Amino acid sequence: MLPFTNKFIQMMNFKNIFFRHIPILLLLGLSSMRIAAADTLLILGDSLSAGYQLPIQQAWATQLSERWKNTPGAPQIINASISGDTAAQGLDRLPELLKNHQPHWVLIEMGANDGLRGFPPADIERDLSQIITLVKQAKAQPLLMQIRITPNYGRRYTESFAAIYPKLAEQYQVPLLPFFMEKVVIKPEWMQPDGLHPTADVQPFIADFMEQTLAPYVGLTPAKQAK
């Protein structure tokens, strides 16, 4: 009976060790889950992504965030967009945002306010360039959105402004994403009275458009094509 007794004692000792370490194992498991779910998409934008004059729940970024909460493998969305922000103001806020959220991707939707105020294209390009550089230095992937503006300052300025984005995308080898407003402004009923910002009714369309656009870059299969 002695061999059996020794084996029984060994088994009991193993069980005691195992159960004593359950809290540690659970913590390690939870940490692994956090790491697996830690990928974050930071949106650095202005009123077009902040949802100007709309409840935050209606903004396209919030709608996409809610949708992706139920999508396996989808990133967490942190919408750091502020209405009225210029590229320089976004640049000023960026270091703290990168430090606090440590994003995997950063969607850069900046520059419209600069263009509407007639800022020199060289200054806008410089600020956007520094934003891209900071994102890369933080080991995150920049996703640069093409921005276009109304021709308030003439064709020459408008074309110079629009050319900033493909130039930077090529220079820094970052994806250039299409501007969702190009599909919105063609429908007056989708625009607020100011003629610059989309209404609440069009936010689901923009969320669909951005899901389709962002999905390949964040490792997802688009659910459907925005039309």
Helices (H), the chain: 2-20, 22-36, 47-50, 60-68, 87-101, 112-116, 121-137, 155-172, 203-214
Q: Which one, of 33, 30, 49, lies nearest residue 41 by Cα? A: 49
Q: Is 188 exposed, middle or buried (0-12, 13-18, 19+ CB in 10 A)?
A: exposed
Distance between CA atoms of residues 215 and 49, nearest Å = 17
Catalytic positions: 47, 194, 197
Q: Which one, of 217, 213, 38, lies nearest residue 142 by Cα? A: 217
Per-domain residue ranges of the chain: 1-36, 39-217
Give domain 39-217's CATH architecture.
3-Layer(aba) Sandwich (3.40)
CB atoms within 10 A of CB 203: 21
CA distances from 191 to 23, 48, 158, 185, 199 (A): 55, 12, 21, 7, 5
- Across the chain, what does the average pLDDT equal? 87
Low-confidence stretches of the chain (pLDDT < 70) are 1-38, 222-227
**What confidence score (pLDDT) does residue 221 get?**
80
Report helix, strand or coil for 217: helix
Distance between CA atoms of residues 68 and 50, nearest Å = 18
Which two tokens mark 135? 């994102």
Which helix (H) or strand (E) element contains residue 109? strand 105-109
Residues near 157 by beta carbon (within 8 Å), at least 6 away in sequence: 118, 121
**What confidence score (pLDDT) does residue 33 get?**
39
Distance between CA atoms of residues 43 and 152, nearest Å = 27
